[in-house]
Amino acid sequence: MPTADPAPAAVPSDPAPSLDPAVAARLRRDDAGLVAAVVQQHDTREVLMVGWMDDEALRRTLTSGRVTFWSRSRQEYWRKGDTSGHAQHVKHVALDCDGDALLVQVDQVGAACHTGTRTCFEAGGTLTAVVGHRPGAAADPTPSDPTPSDRDPAGATR
């Protein structure tokens, strides 16, 4: 009695796309496999936020024209603007000299911060810091923290 032909072997599908090995080799990841991504408005150079990327998030960012991050709290990928409409359109991506941080220059649509502010550095506020001066350079006339002479008797900054 004739036997049926065995089912054809499954045709291997194309492997999942991966980050260019030359780029991956240059990355110095933290223990969780992540690198910091500093996001900057491309034309004004305003620093908007810091996010985290693994190899896949970086691959998606480099190949899609939109910024993708790895959410450390939700343990999932998220593309900025998919729910808020505040998208980040990639203009330039650079790796720092140590390979442990990325500078992602974008055209930001709307607020960059989930709080609704333009940058994530507005809600946190300014920290008091001693302002340093390079030897021979003119002193910065703008102090980091108001001095007592800049306060009214009630203690409010003028």
Positions at the binding site:
96-98, 100, 113, 120
Q: Which residues are annotated as a binding site for Mg(2+)?
A: 96, 98, 100
| C-alpha 132 chain-centroid distance | 28
The letter for the amino acid at 1 is M
Residue 73 near residue 1 (C-beta atoms within 8 A): no
The letter for the amino acid at 53 is M
Distance CA 36, CA 38 (A): 6
Residue 69 near residue 87 (C-beta atoms within 8 A): no
Q: Which residues are annotated as a binding site for Zn(2+)?
A: 97, 113, 120
CA atoms 132, 135, 136, 137: torsion sign: negative
- Sequence-ordered alpha helix ranges (H) in 13-77: 21-26, 55-64
